[in-house]
């Protein structure tokens, strides 16, 4: 059980499309009441957040990421292979990773869960995408789902549950079929796909459990690949995804691996934890860093 007297709460005011900013005063009041020795540190940018987390790791018992999956990813990258634990208070739009960790999506409840939290060693994914390196704690999407993710960022007025369906509709006319040459732990696979997801967690896109059986602590990533199909077939299988009934589909295949190398015939969109990484990736390497993060989960 964690009895840390000092937490550093790294708060992203831009989370949830700028909505998180109004919660800062409430968060400070809660922390002053329950963890008076702790501090709130407001990040102005991803680079700022990672610098804050790296410096705080030397002084605090745990770093608490207060934002969405992007904020969690940033703090995790600063804490990989460190003794300092990572906690999460969700303020984002999707908050997908917490669904695999048992952390409440309700901000107040998640804050209360910290009081009795225990440490769970969890994995992260380390990537090299056309020379750009980084980590993902939840999922890396290549192809159609990354296209949807990119389109979702373009909506300025839509909010909440309307964003993802609108992004899907906007992306349907832009689906690319690509030849994927996969090296999955040494096994060579060559196939045509519209989408490939490398998953540490179970869920992406808000409530799509693309790999329901994924385990964030098993030392392996789960790989879901989707074969080409017409729009009607794709919409049908997206419905199966929503209902978690897609695992028997002949158009969706699953693999497990500790390392995968990917080459594609077409330049494709890529996201990591919902953060846009590339609009034209063709060469991708991803491997698992087993138990790289000490995550605080409900006890």
Q: Are residues 86 and 165 in the same domain?
A: no
Rounded average pLDDT over 164-193: 88
Torsion-angle region of residue 294: left (phi > 0), alpha (psi -120 to 50) or beta?
Answer: beta
Instruction: Name the domain boundary from 70, 94, 116.
Output: 116
CATH number, domain of 59, equals 3.40.50.10330
Integer angstrom CA distances of residue 256 from 120, 134, 168, 185, 223 = 21, 21, 27, 9, 6
Q: Are residues 61 and 93 in the same domain?
A: yes
Residue 213: CB atoms within 10 A of its CB come to 12
Q: Are residues 81 and 145 in the same domain?
A: no
Give domain status of residue 1, yes or no: no
Give domain status of residue 155, yes or no: yes
Instruction: Return the pLDDT at 3.
Output: 46
User: Per-residue pLDDT tens for 126-171?
Assistant: 999 999 999 999 999 999 989 988 887 777 666 666 777 777 778 8
Tokens 């789960």 belong to 222
CA gap 235, 233 in Å, rounded: 6
Instruction: Return the pLDDT at 243.
Output: 64
Q: How confident is the model at residue 19 (pLDDT cuts 50, 70, 90)?
A: low
Rounded average pLDDT over 80-95: 90
Instruction: Return the pLDDT at 126.
Output: 98
pLDDT at 257 over 80: yes
Q: Are residues 264 and 283 in the same domain?
A: yes
Give domain status of residue 108, yes or no: yes
User: Per-residue pLDDT tens for 213-251?
Assistant: 899 999 999 999 999 988 888 888 777 766 666 665 678
CA gap 200, 192 in Å, rounded: 23
Q: How confident is the model at residue 92 (pLDDT cuts 50, 70, 90)?
A: confident
**Do 10 and 66 contact (CB within 8 A), yes or no?**
yes
Domain count, the chain: 2
Give domain status of residue 39, yes or no: yes
Give domain status of residue 87, yes or no: yes
What does the mean pLDDT of the chain come to?
A: 88
Instruction: Return the pLDDT at 1.
Output: 39
Q: Describe the crossing of helices 163-171 and 144-152 by its angle, rounded to 10 degrees.
A: 120
Instruction: Return the pLDDT at 242.
Output: 64
Q: Are residues 136 and 59 in the same domain?
A: no
pLDDT at 25 over 60: yes
Q: What percent of the chain has pLDDT over 90?
A: 62
Partnered with residue 254 across adjacent β-strands are 224
Q: Are residues 110 and 156 in the same domain?
A: no
Q: How confident is the model at residue 93 (pLDDT cuts 50, 70, 90)?
A: confident
**Judging by DSSP bridges, how do beta strands 85-90 and 62-67 pair with one another?**
parallel
Instruction: Return the pLDDT at 157.
Output: 67
Q: Are residues 64 and 160 in the same domain?
A: no
**Do 109 and 89 contact (CB within 8 A), yes or no?**
no
Rounded average pLDDT over 54-77: 93
Q: What percent of the chain has pLDDT over 70?
A: 91
pLDDT at 16 over 70: no
The whole domain housing 101 covers 7-116
Give domain status of residue 274, yes or no: yes
């Amino acid at each position: 059980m964690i009895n840390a007297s000092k937490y550093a709460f790294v708060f992203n005011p831009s989370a949830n499309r700028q909505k998180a900013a109004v919660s800062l005063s409430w968060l400070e009041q809660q922390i002053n009441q329950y963890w008076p020795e702790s501090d709130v540190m407001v990040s102005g940018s991803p680079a700022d957040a990672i610098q804050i987390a790296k410096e705080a790791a030397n002084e605090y018992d745990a770093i608490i990421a207060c934002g969405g999956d992007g904020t969690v990813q940033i703090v995790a990258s600063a804490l990989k292979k460190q003794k300092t634990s990572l906690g999460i208070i969700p303020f984002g739009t999707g908050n997908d990773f917490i669904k695999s960790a048992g952390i409440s999506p309700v901000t107040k409840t998640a804050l209360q869960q910290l009081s009795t939290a225990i440490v769970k060693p969890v994995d992260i994914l380390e990537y090299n995408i056309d020379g750009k390196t980084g980590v993902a704690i939840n999922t890396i999407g290549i192809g159609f789902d990354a296209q949807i993710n990119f389109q979702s960022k373009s909506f300025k007025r839509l909010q909440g549950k309307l964003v993802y369906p609108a992004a899907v509709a906007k992306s349907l006319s832009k689906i690319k079929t690509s030849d994927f040459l996969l090296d999955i732990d040494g096994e060579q696979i060559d196939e045509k796909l519209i989408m490939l997801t490398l998953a540490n967690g179970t869920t992406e896109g808000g409530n799509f459990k693309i790999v329901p059986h994924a385990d964030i602590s098993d030392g392996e990533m789960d790989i879901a690949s989707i074969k080409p199909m017409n729009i009607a077939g794709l919409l049908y299988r997206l419905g199966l995804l929503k209902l978690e009934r897609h695992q028997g589909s002949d158009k969706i295949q699953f693999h497990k691996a500790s390392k995968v190398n990917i080459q594609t015939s077409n330049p494709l969109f890529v996201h990591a934890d919902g953060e846009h990484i590339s609009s034209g990736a063709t060469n991708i390497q991803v491997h698992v860093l087993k138990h790289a993060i000490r995550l605080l989960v409900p006890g």
